[in-house]
């Protein structure tokens, strides 16, 4: 839906206000008012009735996500014309650092400050009931912040028409923009790049999808994971600024490929950490401290490699995107990348059960493969015990796949990196 919406945003605007401000200002005002409406109703929709108002929640969540997706298209397109041509690589730095900070403020901070156990364990001298904030109050706060910040952007930030610097004097109509999008998707370079983006994430899908879930299943508390997230947040924000100077300037796509090998190693280490978790948690406090250090180290290395990959691939997106239809072009590439992440994670979670082997405790012939088998085992007084955890089988398969993928796509990636920019664009 986002990809279909992007050409409209690129082609319809009020010239007096600005190509990007025409969309950004009303969208952010609507987001601010949406948060205020959510804050006013959220307790009634979730708590004060016998069952949640599912349809109203679906409507508001869809509406806010639609506005956020629109904002994303606008910002991506504005970045390509706002920054000078030699600074386009910094789009990835701003994107990575900004998203990390936003996720912290909108998600991690809310979870921590609303949690009674986290506040009592980490922030209070004496335990009391409830968290430091409420979800309703948080929505009110960010609704007001959105409205204030949008007003400042509307008044203080002027949008300069920099397209003439990029050898483009004319805007395209909506029909022309859709045609350009279709023609871009037909380019051989884009097709090969799309194949790379859709298939590469299979290599780490098992660990990405199930690492936190497996840790919680093995006994690691959610509060400990939240504390690690809190410690990692400054690192996530600072890393893009450091990495951009060393990696994304020359050959971002090749850097992305090399980083993949390190991510496979970190994935193997993460799998090993899950395997040793029950042993360490059953020991005394000294061993638990050692385990937490190991866990934090693995988290840090994972964040480092992921950040390197994101910064490099986003830098490549910005480099090959056509500024004539910047929002649409960037949206196309990011949508393909997000599709590669989402489908591989979904399949990875589903396949863990497929690779898991169970056995009924009082009937060796009952493998508990189907729900019917599980019900029979339970009715006979037995339990379905895991004999082989499918996560480890899947992690091994994904790692082997990643190694084979690396050698297969190494030459095509180097070839794509060396292509001139005009082979990624379509002439009108």
Residue with tokens 């290395």: 301
Which pLDDT belongs to residue 284?
66
Beta carbons within 8 Å of 34's beta carbon, 6+ residues apart: 60, 63, 64, 67, 143
Residue 369 lies in a domain: no
| Secondary structure element (H or E) that encloses residue 190, with its range | helix 188-200
Find how far residue 206's CA is from the centre of its chain.
Answer: 16
Residue 370 lies in a domain: no
The vertex-236 CA angle with 82 and 344, nearest 5°, equals: 90
337 within 8 A of 313, measured Cβ to Cβ = yes
User: Does residue 137 sit in helix, strand or coil?
Assistant: helix
Residue 371 lies in a domain: no
248 within 8 A of 96, measured Cβ to Cβ = no
Which pLDDT belongs to residue 428?
57
Name residue 386's beta-bridge partners.
358
Residue 237 lies in a domain: yes
Q: Hey, what are 427's tokens? A: 């002439």
φ and ψ at residue 126, rounded to 5 degrees: -130, 130
Residue 373 lies in a domain: no
φ and ψ at residue 386, rounded to 5 degrees: -80, 120
φ and ψ at residue 47, rounded to 5 degrees: -110, -45
Residue 384 lies in a domain: no
Which pLDDT belongs to residue 169?
47
Which pLDDT belongs to residue 164?
41
**Full residue range of the structural domain in which residue 209 is found:** 2-161+173-355+389-424
The pTM (predicted TM-score) of the whole model is: 0.82
CATH code of the domain in which 285 resides = 1.20.1250.20
φ and ψ at residue 25, rounded to 5 degrees: -65, -55
Residue 378 lies in a domain: no
Which pLDDT belongs to residue 372?
66
Number of domains in the chain: 1
Give CA separation, 9 vs 71, 82, 94, 199, 291, in Å. Answer: 10, 17, 22, 29, 50
DSSP designation for 120? I
Q: List the pLDDT tens digit at each of the 428 positions of the chain.
A: 889 999 999 889 988 888 899 999 999 999 999 999 999 999 989 877 678 899 999 999 999 999 999 999 999 888 888 887 777 778 888 888 888 888 888 888 888 888 888 888 878 888 888 899 999 999 999 999 999 999 999 999 888 755 444 444 457 888 988 999 999 999 999 999 999 999 999 999 999 999 999 999 888 887 788 778 878 888 888 888 888 776 655 788 999 999 999 999 999 999 999 999 988 888 766 677 888 899 999 999 999 999 889 989 988 998 898 888 888 999 999 999 999 999 999 999 999 988 888 888 777 777 777 676 777 888 777 888 888 889 999 999 999 999 999 999 999 999 999 999 888 988 75
| Secondary structure element (H or E) that encloses residue 168, with its range | none
Among candidate residues 340, 386, 378, the one with its CA nearest the CA of residue 362: 378
Residue 379 lies in a domain: no
HSE value, Cβ hemisphere, 13 Å, CA-based, for 344: 24
């Amino acid at each position: 839906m986002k990809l279909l919406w992007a050409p409209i945003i690129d082609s319809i605007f009020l010239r007096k206000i600005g190509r990007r401000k025409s969309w950004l200002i009303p969208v952010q005002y609507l987001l601010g008012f949406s948060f205020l409406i959510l804050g006013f109703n959220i307790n009634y929709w979730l708590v004060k009735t016998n069952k949640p108002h599912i349809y109203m929640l679906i409507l508001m969540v869809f509406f806010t996500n639609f506005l956020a997706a629109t904002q994303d298209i606008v910002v991506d397109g504005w970045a390509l014309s706002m920054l000078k041509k030699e600074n386009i690589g910094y789009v990835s730095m701003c994107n990575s650092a900004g998203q990390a900070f936003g996720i912290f403020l909108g998600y991690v901070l809310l979870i921590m400050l609303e949690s009674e156990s986290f506040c009592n364990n980490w922030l209070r001298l004496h335990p009391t009931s409830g968290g430091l904030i409420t979800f309703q109050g948080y929505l009110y706060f960010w609704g007001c912040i959105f409205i204030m910040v949008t007003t400042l952007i509307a008044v203080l930030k002027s949008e300069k028409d920099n397209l003439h610097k990029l050898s483009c004097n004319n805007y395209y109509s909506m029909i022309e923009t859709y045609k350009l999008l279709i023609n871009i998707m037909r380019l051989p370079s884009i097709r090969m790049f799309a194949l790379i983006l859709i298939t590469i994430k299979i290599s780490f899908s098992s660990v990405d999808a199930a690492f936190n879930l497996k840790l919680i299943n093995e006994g690691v508390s959610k509060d400990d994971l939240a504390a690690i997230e809190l410690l990692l947040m400054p690192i996530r924000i600072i890393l893009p600024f450091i990495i951009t100077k060393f990696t994304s300037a020359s050959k971002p796509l090749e850097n992305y490929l090399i980083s993949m090998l390190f991510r496979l190693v970190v994935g193997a280490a993460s799998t090993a950490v899950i395997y040793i978790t029950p042993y360490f948690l059953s020991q005394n406090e000294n061993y638990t401290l050692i385990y937490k250090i190991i866990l934090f180290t693995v988290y840090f290395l994972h964040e480092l490699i992921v950040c390197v990959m994101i910064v490099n691939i986003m830098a490549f997106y910005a480099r090959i995107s056509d500024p004539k239809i910047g929002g649409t072009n960037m949206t196309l590439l990011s949508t393909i990348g997000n599709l590669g992440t989402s489908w591989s994670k979904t399949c990875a979670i589903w396949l863990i059960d497929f690779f898991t082997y169970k056995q009924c405790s009082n009937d060796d012939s009952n493998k508990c493969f189907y729900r019917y088998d599980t019900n029979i085992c339970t009715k006979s007084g037995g339990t379905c015990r895991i004999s082989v955890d499918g996560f480890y089988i899947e992690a091994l398969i994904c790692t082997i796949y990643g190694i084979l993928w690396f050698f297969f796509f190494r030459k095509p990636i180097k070839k794509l990196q060396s292509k001139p920019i005009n082979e990624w664009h379509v002439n009108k």
